Amino acid sequence: MGMKKLSFFMGLLMLALFPVLSRQDGFDQWVALQESKTSVATSTLDAKLSTAEASRLGNGVDPYTIFGAEDGMYKSISECISNIPNDNTRRHMFNLKPGTVFREKVFVGKDKPFVTLKSDPSNPAVIVWNDTAMTKGKDGKLLTSRGSSTVTIESDYFIAYGIIIKNDALPAKAGDKQVQATALHVTGTKAIFYNCTIEGGQGALYDHQGLHYFKASTIKGSVDFIFGSARSLYEDCSIISTNKDITNMEVAQEGWASESRINSESGFSFKNCTIKGEGKPVFLGRASGNFSQVVYSSTEMDSEIVPIIWEKGNMKIPKSGIYYGEFKCYGPGLDASKKAGWALSLTEAQAKPFTCKSFISGGSWITPLPPADP
């Protein structure tokens, strides 16, 4: 595809194949980069966001409404998004009717910043579709993992609150190819997901690029189900692997490429999370030939985390080049991972840059929870 697509499940971060370093030295070098970024973090809301929040607009979305756009009501999410002026400078908040199932694909383009999709966490609205990477688009070409996503966010300053984003394609079987069934694909920066559920199959969450904050959310999927090269903080989240059997599963992953420099803008941090596998270990993935790193702090690991690579469609455990750091984590999964040599223990000073919102410069763009109605 000619694009630098970096895959790693559960937040594994792509770093360069810099001159040969020891496993610990390579990780320490990346930690030092994060410390330098944290020291210059800002706590002032940026000007664009301040302007947008000061002039919020509110609308409702209900498939059965008898009212129209002139009354501030829409029947579909796609309809309300299309009615936002290009390059708008105001926060557009769309209240999705609680408990409603919206069976549609949602695309929020680059020219639609400051969008909020909001529902009731106790009775959330559901956005669902069932495309896979093997589904053919209108042009007759395969959608690939990018095109399979139920919700695609390319815009900046996006917020989701109290909604379920789901890809309900049938589960892949051993031997299937191009089985990605992505629920959410995010390429815009400064995106927030509060109290949401993101559920799909392989590649459920494509955390592609940008600064992202996931708070009190649930992410469910099968193999390699959180991947991308964003810089994201997952706080108080539940990470659940639904994979039942990956034996001999073949996966044709397109466009993997190695980095030639340290990707210091990327990084995944999991804080106060729970990691569970439904009867199986949790398998982490990375593109062959790259270093991958992630930090877990104060996180419960019920299942062993096993790093993997895909080589010629086959899953293999790498001999080197994959690290994750942990700080004050616990559970049988952590014990097993330490015995296998995957986990590197961090000191409090080393962990600090990853455990606060300054890791993603959050002081300049993370707004209060829940988003206030206009």
Indicate the DSSP class of residue 360.
Answer: G
What is d(CA 31, CA 354) in angstroms, rounded to the nearest whole number? 9
- Calpha distance 252→254 (Å, rounded): 6
CB of 356 within 8 A of CB of 233?
Answer: no
Concatenate the DSSP letters of all residues of 185-246 into one string: EE-SSSEEEES-EEE-SBT-EEE-SSEEEEES-EEEESTT-EE-S-EEEEES-EEEE-----
Active site residue 224: yes
User: Quick one: 302 exposed, middle or buried, by C-beta within 10 A (0-12, 13-18, 19+)?
Assistant: middle
Its sign, for the CA torsion 301, 206, 359, 370, is: negative
Contact 104, 77 (CB under 8 A): yes
Q: Is 38 helix (H, G, I), strand (E, B) or coil?
A: helix
C-alpha of 206 from chain center: 5
Dihedral angle computed from the Cα positions of residues 235, 200, 242 and 292, in that order, rounded to the nearest 10 degrees: -60
* Number of residues in the chain: 374
Q: Point out the catalytic residue in the list 62, 131, 156, 224.
A: 224
Helix (H, G, I), strand (E, B) or coil at 13: strand
Strand 314-316 and strand 305-311: the pairing is: antiparallel
| Calpha distance 160→214 (Å, rounded) | 10
Of 54, 112, 59, 55, the C-alpha closest to 81 is 112
Active-site residue list: 224
